[in-house]
Chains A and B, each alone.
Chain A
Amino acid sequence: MAETVATADTHAADHESFGIDNRKLGMWLFLSSEFLFFGALITNYLVYGGDTFGATVVPREVYDIPFTSVSSFVLLMSSLTMVLAHHALTTGDQNGTRTWLLATAMLGSIFLGGQVFEFYEFINVQGMTLTTNPASSAFFMLTGFHGAHVAIGVIMLLSLFGMAKRQGGLSQQHGMNLELVGLYWHFVDIIWIVIFTVVYLLGAV
């Protein structure tokens, strides 16, 4: 998605501009829309999450807070490694960039593994599936869409890593790609902080 109208005679200086790279501005705008997407999903969970639905098992009864706290910590740490990857690139440390990119992807994958385990436990051990009640539907839909976002982020991180590996380093243009992936990655983290707080912690009390 790396593209701007970079024609020979079109430079930012010839135009009125907000001074932000087109791609970065586009990413910010996209993420502003994504906030509403998760806002609707979280609201949906809040509408149904407090109900008991007869005797069926509802999400807040089956949370394993210590386990999810650990996987949340892992995801938060991946934001740190993402920043370190970006920092390494700005200082010209290509080895460091590759290492931290891979570390970020690994931490993201660990989080996803944790989510798979959590879903497995809920479905097979606790007997709470997508179709048990509206609260479980809302829970799986919310966390599932978040997981899908993390998975896409991991794919983008690994693509960057592959690019850096093959070309012996990330060029200036790819540096912007790293920033874009970074923005997206931090967004996914921030959303998780909200989900963990609102859905897990406040739901369990």
Chain B
Amino acid sequence: MTATAERSTTMTIFRRPESTEGFWSWVTTVDHKKIGIMYGYAAFIFFIVGGLEALLLRIQLAGPNGDFLTAAEYNAMFSTHGLTMIFLFVMPISAAFMNYLLPLMIGARDVAFPRLNAMSFWLFFFGALFIYSVIFFGDVTPPLGVEGVPGNIDPSQQTLLGGLPDGGWFLYQPNAGPSFSPGTAVDFALLGLQILGIASLVSAVNFLTTIFNMRAKGMRLLRMPVFIWMTMVVAFLLLFSLPIIAVALFMGTFDRAFGTLFFQAAGGGDPILWQHLFWLFGHPEVYILILPAMGIVSEVLPVFSRKPLFGYAAIVFAGGGIAFLGFGVWAHHMFSSALTPVAQAAFGLSTMTIAIPTGIKIFNWLGTMWGGRIRFTTPMLFAVGFVAMFVIGGLSGVTHSIVPSDWQQTDTYYIVAHFHYVLFGGSIFGLFAGLYYWFPKLTGRMMNEALGKTHFWIQFVGFNLTFAPMHWLGLQGMVRRTWRYAPETNFGPWNLAVTIGAFTIAVGILVFMFNWSWSKRKGPNSGLDPWDARTIEWSIPNPTPHYNYAENPTVTSLDHFWHMKYTEDSEGRAVRRDDADDTIARLEHDGRNPSSPIHLPNPSYFPILMASGVPLIAYGIIYHRGVAGKLLILIGAVISIGSLLGWGMEPLEEPHDGGGEHEPAMAEAH
């Protein structure tokens, strides 16, 4: 870039970072696009880690009496697989989409609080590393186990993988309490989730403020793309569910670190309280995982059906309805925990009502496709796959609301099948649809369609081969979280099929990774509007210029970009305007040539510094009994509070007298 403005006299601790390329530009960036990309890549790395953990589980279970993993390793693998996929993959990759797309879809320059946004990412990233750092910094005192039961662990047999958190992703008490999990693995999980929670809470505040206050002129709430609506709903869910899990995590940490008695039955505590608090967060959490994918699918289906989204308002309000009802169904995760019959009936009924808004969405998606001129591109295949797989997962979900039936299914592979159909067949298929759909927005290139379709079909077949047999296994009585099974159970053949399916999925993911890295460099140029899209993020050049919109857009309708290109004939059919191609050429030119200089928030060191202090405090809490721990808490607090002070004194944007930081002529994409 050109010479920057003369240094201001504002008091700061550091020189303001100036890099626009390379390592430091990413570390110090406050640009929502770069932050979104970092979220995406970080999340995908953890997707691979979580996937490898799943493959290890499947090798162990491929045949009867597997001896590939020890019992301790098996416990650690299924727990860490769940934690990783939920908190380190689906949530952050949804955050990646929200970060990248939210300002683009509402026509804004950035989010409301760019530096807080950077801090959210670094808190997530350090929190994730913190959880996995238990391998290096954990104290692997083995669990006591129960005498005589296979799987009781001898300290000399402690292994690397067995040292990972092993209490299940839900960390049920008292199993995750100090007496049954005396090592530090669970502490790392509890405090790591606390850090991730702070990151998500800050993001939620940030996104809501952005949506409420920074929409383009004319973009009223009911003209927002459905993905933005779902972002808003998810942000509210985070806002209201995270504080509850924060309290539960604090209680768990206090029990383990400071000897409180919240969940210690021997001291009068109530382990069931953990379940209530956990699922009061945990059920909204599953909607936090699925709603962004529903938003993505609601964007993809209309584009490739060449029809407006059927029942836009119904889909929007159904999303809100799901979120609202989501706070009233948590105890259906606990039907086997001795609830009163009244509570069981009430939560069974409230669970059934969830099917209503969900059904509305499904029928609206089908209505969108009905009679459309459908193009089966890769994103469309994944979106349709989402709808089909989610229906199967949804139907098995409804069976859980029937309490006696749920008792039969609880803790069997039927449950595992159910939530993988909604979270993998649902969320992850939807997220892949989004990755293929918005790839040109990131890179200006198209992904290879043949490879994309290959990926879809391999993953689709592999997915069903993996998770459909789990229904049968569950109904036959195969229990979740069991390390091995006896040959007499006859679980062997289906388990082998499941394992083959899991490796098939892995092959599909490898195809995707190859396609992504190849297309990023060699893919054909996408132009401005590769999909004949409807929403305004496609009205600016690809890849997105670093300033987003050269001029602040004005929106006059839902699907504004579509209406710039199409009009209706006398019978209400869409007809492409004669000047549509000229419009696109003009947008391409204007989007790259801002008429006046655009000033963006400057990069800053403080978000990453602030975030780096927090894991230090967490290490300190785990090892607070020693001097090193107390010292770590102090150092972490000094770093974080010091960064906040520096942050407060640093202006968001350096004064731009003189130096042209973002000359229009220099406006090239990053």
Contacts and interface: CB of A to CB of B under 8 A. Distances in A.
B260 interface: yes
Nearest to A18: B212
B215 A16 contact: yes
A3 B114 contact: yes
A25 B209 contact: yes
A29 B112 contact: no
Nearest to A155: B641
A133 to B, nearest CB: 5
Contacts of B262: 44, 48, 134, 137-138
A39 B191 CA distance: 21
B214 interface: yes
Interface string B87-121: 00000000000000000000011111111100000
Given A17-B215, A26-B112, A37-B243, A9 B273 contact: no
A124 interface: no
Nearest to A22: B112
Contacts of B596: 9
* B213, B218, B239, B254: most-surrounded residue (chain A CB, <10 A): B213
Nearest to A3: B652
* A15, A32, A39, A133: most-surrounded residue (chain B CB, <10 A): A15
A22 B246 contact: no
A159 B645 CA distance: 9
A44 B201 CA distance: 22
A128 B257 CA distance: 18
A44 B205 contact: no
Contacts, number: 159
Interface in B211-240: 212-220, 239-240
A126 interface: no
A8 interface: yes
Contacts of B205: 26, 29-30, 33
B34 to A, nearest CB: 16
Given A15-B108, A130-B259, A131-B258, A40 B248 contact: yes
Contacts of A16: 215-220
A121 interface: no
B254 A141 contact: yes
B451 to A, nearest CB: 39
Contact of B250 (A4, A22, A141): A141
A137 to B, nearest CB: 4
A85 interface: no
* B204, B208, B209, B250: most-surrounded residue (chain A CB, <10 A): B209
A133 B243 CA distance: 24
Interface stretch (B20-28, B181-189, B597-605): B597-605
Contacts of A67: none
23 contacts: A1-B113, A1-B644, A3-B652, A6-B653, A12-B213, A14-B552, A15-B108, A16-B216, A16-B217, A16-B220, A29-B204, A33-B243, A36-B244, A40-B244, A40-B277, A44-B247, A130-B260, A134-B261, A137-B260, A137-B261, A138-B262, A141-B250, A145-B250
Interface of B: 108-116, 201, 204-206, 208-209, 212-220, 239-244, 246-248, 250-251, 254, 258-262, 264, 267-270, 273, 277, 552, 596-601, 644-645, 647-648, 652-653, 656
